[in-house]
Chain A
Amino acid sequence: MVVCVALCMTVGPYSGNRLALIVSFPSCAEKCMKCKEASPVLVIRVGDAFCKACFREYFVHKFRAMLGKNRAIYPGEKVLLALSGGPASSSMLRQVQEVSAPQRSNSLHLASLVCYSEGAVCGQSLAERGDTLLQMETILQASRFPYHLAHLEEVFDLPSSILQHAPHNPTGPKNSYKEAVEGFIRQQRREEGGSPSLPERQIQEKLAEVSLRDVPGMEGLADPEARLLAAVRTEQLIRLFGSVKTLTAKEELLQTLRNHLILHTARTQGYSKVMMGESCTRLAVKLLTNLSLGRGASLAMDTGFSDDRHGDVVVVRPMREYSAKEIAFYNHLFGVPTVFTPALDTKALEKASIHRVIERFVYGLQAEFPSTVSTVYRTGEKLSVTPGDASPAAEPERCLLCLCALDTNVGKCKRCLPAPG
């Protein structure tokens, strides 16, 4: 399940001043390393132990500094906050609330929320999905931001413009999402004359097989109960995922569809920025997964602070300097509610997907060599590619699904090269 919170920054840009300099020195962990008075509750890095109050200050400040440093939000800009109910995005919502508090001079408010559910493809029953939605709505209502719910099933209603770099051209062909995908696959086949051999190819074909215009849309079903009963859609979604062979490919399909749904929501509601709550631990996993899948080209965009591949909607990742540990402690110590929803493979075997094997590897690294994880995710910043170099004047040709620029040397996106199981 993912929630989008939309908000509007009305007064002034963030200022990244007063960033507390965290000085690292050997600590006996008797006292908080910052205030030198209170008892510490948390070790952030080796030797850095914070008390509860200083940890909160450090955490909240890091969020403001992140936005300020990157000049991420312009005054009055409408921002959509994508939330999953999971720890990192729930924590992000809390930070936005902190920043939006009335006494703050820089406030983000006038928010509205969109929440969507992926329960159908993660093995949740109708009853479980209903329960998850209920928990989610409780959190959404408490946030005081207006919201609405969306479901992964709605990807079948997406317009083809979701697959374009920037939909500035309203006179463009009014193809369906499905037709656009089919067209792309035909073109790929013509170009290479080879046979499909990879998860993403598989995904494109499966998407192309699905035609759902004969099914009533879910847009009108405002009531979550009624949405849940749109069983036909759910059935089709389950069949789509069921027909994708490997768990690695399913993970990729889910991420792609989720991104499309978030992008679509941003466009239809008129938001130019989307905030995603990916932690540095999560981004390190994503970066190494991308490497393993042969995706050097999209690496920087997939893991950097700012991702402008869609043109009109820019994705920013303000949680990328928080470790999963910091986030879990913050949520626990300050009562941030989260909703646990199973992942695609919650019940699958450990080695079932590349994503899972890499996750296990990264957490092992974190445990044995704590500083290496931030080194991994920071590497992404140094790898940024400028695909326009070959033909600076031309708009780069883009991969259909991930929308990263195609590698001009091979004529197609590295992301779409064969990937192991």
Chain B
Amino acid sequence: MAAPMSLLVEFGGGAELLFDGVKKHQVTLPCQPEPWDIRNLLKWIKQNLLKERPELFIQGDTVRPGILVLINDADWELMGELDYKLQDQDNVVFISTLHGG
């Protein structure tokens, strides 16, 4: 049983437009039987934070190509991507590189 955990979730590069223009979200994830990973977090974001056009953020069970994911300022490719097990106080950043100058 995973305890509730607190995360700082950030959106940048224009991805924030899909979240009411808000860049920083201090979120608390509820208790659930299995541990929280990025895969679950994306589902949670889709249900709880995403305001419009989910297809611009999520594709299948992962992020849309062109959206970068950083976990505590490191590339999620180094952290196991969707399988990364979240820890309390983690910082997860999503940066859109689409339409970038």
Q: Which residues of A contact B (CB under 8 A)?
A: 29, 39-43, 49, 83-90, 277, 279, 281-282, 324-325, 327-329, 332-333, 338, 340, 342-343, 346, 350, 359-360, 363-364, 366-368
Contact = CB atoms under 8 A, between A and B. Distances in A.
A152 B95 CA distance: 28
A43 B101 contact: no
Given A41-B73, A87-B13, A366-B65, A328 B78 contact: no
A89 B12 CA distance: 16
Given A282-B100, A332-B12, A340-B14, A43 B78 contact: yes
A346 B75 contact: no
Given A87-B100, A89-B101, A277-B101, A346 B74 contact: no
A345 B10 CA distance: 24
A343 B99 contact: yes
Nearest to A2: B101
B97 A325 contact: yes
Q: Which 6 A-B residue pairs are closest in the complex by CB-CB distance?
A: A86-B101, A363-B66, A367-B65, A324-B97, A363-B65, A84-B101
B7 interface: no
A83 B68 CA distance: 23
Contact of A328 (B65, B73, B97): B97
A387 to B, nearest CB: 30
Contacts of A366: 65-66
8 contacts: A42-B74, A42-B75, A277-B101, A324-B66, A327-B100, A329-B75, A332-B73, A338-B101
Contact of A332 (B16, B66, B70, B99): B70
Interface in B31-65: 55-56, 64-65
Please classify how large the interface on chain B is, using the bins under 10, 10 to 19, 20 to 34, 35 or more: 20 to 34
Contacts of A327: 97, 100
B98 interface: yes
B93 interface: yes
Contacts of A281: 97, 100
B79 to A, nearest CB: 10
A90 B101 contact: yes
Nearest to A40: B78
Given A88-B101, A279-B100, A328-B100, A49 B14 contact: no
A329 B69 CA distance: 10
A277 B65 CA distance: 22
A79 B100 CA distance: 23
Nearest to B93: A332
A328 B75 contact: no
A151 B99 CA distance: 20
A84 B100 CA distance: 10
A29 B79 CA distance: 10
Nearest to A88: B101
A29 B78 contact: yes
Interface string B6-19: 00000011101100
B77 interface: yes
A163 B101 CA distance: 25
Given A43-B78, A88-B101, A346 B93 contact: no
Which of A90, A328, A332 neighbours the largest number of chain B CB atoms within 10 Å of its CB?
Answer: A328
Contacts of B78: 29, 40-43, 49
B51 to A, nearest CB: 13
Which of A86, A333, A340, A350 neighbours the largest number of chain B CB atoms within 10 Å of its CB?
Answer: A340
Contacts of B65: 360, 363-364, 366-368
A359 B70 contact: no
Contacts of B17: 342, 346
B100 A41 contact: no
A85 B56 CA distance: 22
Interface in B80-101: 93, 95, 97-101
Nearest to B21: A340
B75 A85 contact: no
